[in-house]
Amino acid sequence: MTDSDPHSWPADEPWPDNYFNYFTEIEEHFQKARGTSLFLLSPLDWALIENWKNSGVPLEAVVQGIDEAFEKWRGRKVKSRQVNSLAYCTQAVMEAAKRLTGAGAIRARQTREPLFAATEVRDFLTNAAAAISATGNSAFQPIESAVETLAAEAETHLTDLEDLERRLTSLEEKMVAIARAALSDDNALAMRRQLDNELAPYRSKMTAEQIAMLERRYLDTRIMERIGLPRLSLFYMR
């Protein structure tokens, strides 16, 4: 597990049972720890979660880190403000990840039953291909065709969702590269300014490497949203 290697869950380690619930479980636990169930995570928060997922940070580590960060915050005599971002928990999460990984505490999946029905995967990918087509940009056509092919073969991929996820990750990276190249300088500058404003309070809690990864994921996500491109990862099925 490393901060600098995105999309890199270790190939020799089985994925945990709750791997595809990673996003929702973290969101729900942060809301619970904060005591506000209606609190919405920001684009920065979602980018941070994706970085943790891509770097192989165990869900257990994120949950423990959130709890430890809030415990420390509540122990302060003076609380200048409420915790409004997952970024506040970054240091605690990474420390928990080191402890758990070192102790071999990642829970392995014991069975290989499909986590999704073939129809779920097929519908998800078919809708993604349609969204790509709806952009009207012919540069995305090869990616659209590849996603349609994966949708047609959905049933054959159920026994190896890890491989399907890697294929989708590769296609999404190509799609983002095309979208980024087409982005105007003015729009890129506006996104960068928004990111800097959101990230400013938490920069001191992250390493330069973590910040660089987070900035890239945040900007890539916002670029896709602006054009109307879908996320291709299976995580977005839930």
Q: Looking at residue 159, what is its pLDDT?
A: 80
Asked whether residue 94 falls in the same domain as residue 170, the answer is no
The answer to whether residue 107 is domain-embedded is: no
Asked whether residue 124 falls in the same domain as residue 89, the answer is no
**pLDDT tens column, 79-132:** 667 788 898 899 999 999 988 876 554 444 444 455 788 999 999 999 999 999
Number of independent structural domains in the chain = 2
pLDDT over 70, % of the chain? 83
Asked whether residue 90 falls in the same domain as residue 172, the answer is no
Asked whether residue 95 falls in the same domain as residue 187, the answer is no
The answer to whether residue 226 is domain-embedded is: yes
Query: Across all residues in the chain, what is the average pLDDT?
Result: 83
The answer to whether residue 178 is domain-embedded is: yes
The answer to whether residue 3 is domain-embedded is: no
Q: Which of 4-13, 90-99, 123-132, 229-238 has the highest mean pLDDT?
A: 123-132
Asked whether residue 144 falls in the same domain as residue 209, the answer is yes
Is the confidence at residue 5, as pLDDT, over 50? no
**pLDDT tens column, 36-49:** 766 778 888 888 88
Q: Looking at residue 133, what is its pLDDT?
A: 96
Residue that is last in its domain, among 72, 102, 132: 102
Mean pLDDT across the stretch 66-89?
84
Mean pLDDT across the stretch 64-93?
86
Asked whether residue 72 falls in the same domain as residue 137, the answer is no
The answer to whether residue 112 is domain-embedded is: no
Asked whether residue 52 falls in the same domain as residue 96, the answer is yes
Asked whether residue 66 falls in the same domain as residue 129, the answer is no
Asked whether residue 62 falls in the same domain as residue 168, the answer is no
Residue 55 domain boundaries = 19-102
Band the pLDDT of 9: cuts 50, 70, 90. Answer: very low
The answer to whether residue 157 is domain-embedded is: yes
Asked whether residue 135 falls in the same domain as residue 167, the answer is yes
Asked whether residue 221 falls in the same domain as residue 123, the answer is yes
The answer to whether residue 175 is domain-embedded is: yes
Concatenating the DSSP letter of every residue in the chain gives: --TT-TT---TTSPPPTTGGGHHHHHHHHHHHHHT-TTPPPPHHHHHHHHHHHHTT--HHHHHHHHHHHHHHHHT-S---S----GGGGHHHHHHHHHHHHHTT-PPPP-----SS-HHHHHHHHHHHHHHHHHT--GGGHHHHHHHHHHHHTHHHHGGGHHHHHHHHHHHHHHHHHHHHHHS-HHHHHHHHHHHHHHHGGGGGGS-HHHHHHHHHHHHHHHHHHHHTPPP-SGGGG-
Asked whether residue 124 falls in the same domain as residue 221, the answer is yes
